[in-house]
Structure 1
Amino acid sequence: MLQVLRQLLLPFSLVYGLIVFIRNKFYDWGWFKSYSFNLPIISVGNLEVGGSGKTPMVEYLIKLLKNDHKLATLSRGYGRKTKGFLWVKPNDDASNTGDEPLQMAQKFKNIGVAVCENRVAGIKKIRQTHNLILMDDAYQHRAVKPGLSLLLFNYHQINKPRFLLPAGNYRETFSGRKRAQVLIASKCPQNLSAEERQSIKNILAPYPHQKLFFSALAYASSLNNVFTAEKLPKELITDDWHVLLLTGIAKPEPLYQNLLSYTPNIAHHRYADHHQFSDKNIRKLVEAFDAIASDKKIIITTEKDAVRLKTDKFAELRALPVYQWPIEVVFLFNEGEAFNHLIKEYAEIN
């Protein structure tokens, strides 16, 4: 059925692709204005819609750079109800800021986190008080010419067909990767073989001006209670535990597979990326939790989803064991030092 639907949508993808091609050419030829700024700007993006690990990569960069620079992040704040430029505060509501910016504001208290659908206007505002900007999900935002572009490719999608929207998930053609200076194969298994590494390199075919890195996601040793400071060591989750997994992210499969290595008793309450949880969604979750007879039961979610649960309208969740499982980026094949050097050198020279 899905294959038939893709075929029906292919004519629309051709129209979409033509529009994107013309738009990019207008920027390449200078017919559309692309702004450069006299401060280091690092863009993190992808060619597909969601699920490549952009937010963990931005958090990696924050940890790497925050002690040496007055740093701010900038994104559009996907799904927010507000408009225009906004500094995001830790106690804001996700519906007004977007979930990912709020997640960063809550995790990193000493950086600036801003949202603005007009990235040029946002940068002009941020540069008054900060000297380095990380732009999240901005690869297709050609109005800004960043000094360094990181382009992520989800390991699990690299070998799949590259259909453009709406028949597929690609925002622009694969050739668009040429604008980036750094390519990253993200979400790789930590035991990625040298043979598969070479196969991925052949597929991504980096240009001479590009560096290619391989990264994975590592799950923290402890889960954090969403509403308190309590931590739960992951070793305590054994095969007799029952897990209710709540996700509203693009690709939750890696988290689900990770949980399967601890217990087979998983009930997945899955919603679309950036889903704004409703009273009905939470009531269904609570009823499912109450229906589990065992005392060994827990609700697990992602950090991104957790920020949308921290609201008074979901107060009933505060009495339940609701935990988020932090993740972080790790580089494979001992490439972390080289990646860090590349990023730091760019930030310092510029």
Structure 2
Amino acid sequence: MQFLRWLLLPLSLLYGFVVIIRNWLYDAGIFKSREFDLPVISVGNLEVGGAGKSPMTEYLIALFKRDYKLATLSRGYGRQTKGFITAPANAVATQVGDEPAQFKSKYPDVTVAVCEDRAAGIDNLKAQHNLIILDDAFQHRAVKPGFSILLFDYKSLQQPQFMLPAGNLREPFSGRWRADMMVVTKCPPNIGEAEFTRCYNRLSPMNWQPLFFSSIKYQPLRPLNGNDVDISIDADTTVFLLTGIANPAPLTTYLQTQTPKIVHHNYPDHHQFTLKNISKLAADFAACTSPNKLIITTEKDAQRLREQSLQNAVAQLPFFVQPIGIEFLNNGQQNFDKIITDYVRQYPNNN
């Protein structure tokens, strides 16, 4: 695998050159970036895959939803629709994408919208909202957000950084200096001072770029369908784990602290589950002789399991969803909240 990456390095250099030219054209004003007269917060990352954008977006929703008429706006990756769509209450992944469907499921009173053209999406939302949160929009230069939060996965930050296709970077690492704030996500809860310093030196933020650290906060399991029930996992429990996300490693590591018996059905990011996938899982589950067994999936994957074509097969299995949130380290939450809230309040309509 490492040898293949070296073979792809010339393509990475070409891709990086194109991205650098594109960013320069935006920075020079040759390509236009639109600004808006309402607060627009962008959540993004430099790498392909999961750096915790969805938990951060949900954190911001929870922070502002009571005081502002906010909307989230995503591209809607993986959906089978086109153009601007406002997610209905029963939105499914094929309609709006898995992350927007997740947002709408958890926050039904919040407007969740998708549009490939983020500027056009904001145009459709701005009359009825006074705060827009852009999910995964750091590379969408056609919109200039008022405040940009850039996320870095702790583990990925320790590894060499290469552009696509040899590596996972969507743009050069120097693009981080375009952000208003950086957050290192998925840190070990017991990270030491030496690691904080190493991350700081690796990112070298400008003096106006605050840097925060956060870890994953796992919440109680809940059934995919039906009412909440108390469920516990111990060393005798066999967990069948179904994932179609970019980086399932933190979840598997967490579950391994509770039981060594994990059977992982792992699929690519945004994988559209099929009846064949669920049938294979059901067969493996039925063949397991353990008296204590259950199936766990992620919140994002749960949205793709709610497709009508899968409902009968999924309903026959004891699916549980593992919700997650974020927890700021170094007592950083208060300062983080203040910086973001001060930005939103500087707009006359929100003061």
- How would you bin the TM-score normalised by the shorter chain? over 0.9
Q: Match of 1:239?
A: 235
Q: Equivalent residue of 1:231, what SS?
A: coil
Which residue of structure 1 lines up, in the alignment, with residue 224 of structure 2? Answer: 226
Aligned match of 1:328: 325
Unpaired runs of at least 5, structure 1:
none
Q: Alpha carbon RMSD of aligned pairs, Å? A: 0.8
CA positional deviation for 1:93? 2.4
Which one-letter code corresponds to 1:130 in the other structure? Answer: H
SS in 1 for 2:264: strand
Distance 1:12 1:45 in 2: 24
Residues 91, 104 of structure 2: 8 Å contact kept? no
Report how far residue 310 of structure 1 moved: 1.3
Amino acid corresponding to residue 335 of structure 2 in structure 1: A
Question: What corresponds to 2:171 in structure 1?
Answer: 172
CA apart distance, 1:135: 0.2
- For residues 2 and 325 of structure 2, the distance between their equivalents in structure 1, rounded to whole angstroms, comes to 34
Q: After TM superposition, which residue ranges in structure 1, 4 or more long, deviate above 3 angstroms?
A: none
* Alpha-carbon displacement from aligned partner over 1:206-233 (angstroms, at most 9, x marks no partner): 011200000011101x201001122334
- SS of the counterpart of 2:5? helix
> Is the 1:225–1:324 contact (alpha carbons within 8 Å) kept by the matching residues of 2?
yes
1:293 CA drift (Å): 1.3
Q: 1:311 — aligned with what?
A: 307
Structure 2 partner of 1:301: 297
Whether the 8 Å contact between 1:13 and 1:166 is mirrored in structure 2 is yes
Inter-partner Cα distance in structure 2 for 1:109 and 1:66: 11
Q: Percent identity?
A: 52
In the superposition, the TM-score normalised over structure 2's length comes to 0.97
State the one-letter code of the partner of 2:248.
P
Aligned length: 346
Q: Secondary structure at the match of 2:260?
A: coil
Amino acid at match of 1:74: L
Q: 2:342 matched to which residue of 1?
A: 345
1:279 maps to what in 2?
275
**SS class of match (2:175):** helix
Unpaired segments ≥5 residues, structure 2: none
Q: Is the 8 A contact 1:94 1:307 kept in 2?
A: yes
Aligned to 1:191: 190
Contact 1:276 1:308 survives alignment (8 Å): yes
Tell me which amino acid in the other structure corresponds to 1:200: C
SS of residue matched to 1:45: strand
Q: Helix, strand or coil for the counterpart of 2:79? A: coil
2:319 and 2:302 map into 1 onto residues whose CA distance is 9
Q: Deviations over 1:15-46 (max 9, x none)?
A: 10110000000000000010000000000000
Aligned to 2:93: 94
Give the Cα separation in 2 of the matches to 1:38 and 1:257.
Answer: 44
Residue identity in the other structure for 2:74: S
Q: Distance in 2 between matches of 1:50 and 1:337?
A: 28
> 2:206 matched to which residue of 1?
207
Secondary structure of the residue aligned to 2:7 is helix
1: CA distance, partners of 2:92 / 2:343? 34
Amino acid in the other structure paired with 1:329: I
Structure 1 position 312, deviation (Å):
2.8
Report the equivalent of 2:64. Answer: 65
The amino acid across from 2:246 in the alignment is A
Instruction: Verify the 8 A CA contact 1:42 1:133 in the aligned structure 2.
Output: yes
TM-score (norm 1): 0.97
CA contact (8 A) 1:151 1:184 kept: yes
Task: Give the Cα–Cα distance (whole angstroms) in 1 for the partners of residues 241 and 61 of structure 2.
Answer: 28
Report the Cα offset of residue 294 of structure 1: 2.1
Deviations 1:180-231 (A, max 9, x none): 01000000011111111111111110011200000011101x2010011223
How far apart are residue 53 of structure 1 and its match? 0.3
Structure 1 residue 110, shift from structure 2 partner: 1.2
Contact 1:44 1:149 in 2 (8 A): yes
Instruction: Give CA-to-partner distance per residue, 1:289-344, whole Å, 9 cap, x none.
Output: 11111221100000000011113322122132100011001100101000001111
| Structure 2 letter corresponding to 1:250 | A
* CA distance in 1 between partners of 2:308 and 2:211 (Å): 45
Q: What is the deviation of 1:7?
A: 1.2
- Taking the aligned partners of 1:50 and 1:63, their CA distance within structure 2 comes to 23
Shift of 1:98: 0.4
Aligned residue in 2 for 1:132: 131
